[in-house]
Structure 1
């Protein structure tokens, strides 16, 4: 199975250790979603923009660990999306984004550049 990650699970980010046993397949930009800064991590919601991320092949054990990390408390819900590497899971933020900072470029790694230009 595959997963697309767009924030702290990406390479060289704070939670990338969760992806230690994953196989990186490539980068991907998905249309029809917007990226928001929730504080220490981002959230993706359906929208008009695009979001940049990384697609990985993962095993069931890794998916279970990520589910425990991301879906606890109903903050995120997994959704199946299409990528050039096949279908992949995407964690979609389930709470209101009202008052949160939108990241216009859709790339969590460039969030500081986006906010300094506004």
Structure 2
């Protein structure tokens, strides 16, 4: 937990504050690897199979700055920027094809603000 806290405070948040997608993606991917390592025995590896193949393929793409799985999957994410969005989408399609996994690829924009609770 301390290691992840350090990554969040010293890498992820400063990357968000400066708009550095590459540094943010690398930080998020590292947090995902650390979380996955805690559950590796239960899920069959750092990433739940066959998600690991998709994550590895995305991670190798120059247009994706960090990749991982959501919790136990099956959603895989990759961090990119607007300039690389089309190439990242194509990398996602290739990753699914190479892993023999059915799925869909969506490129979405980060929310402009956080969640709000109202009465």
Smaller-chain TM-score range? under 0.3
TM-score of the aligned structures, taking structure 1 as reference length: 0.27
Higher helix proportion? 2
TM-score of the aligned structures, taking structure 2 as reference length: 0.26
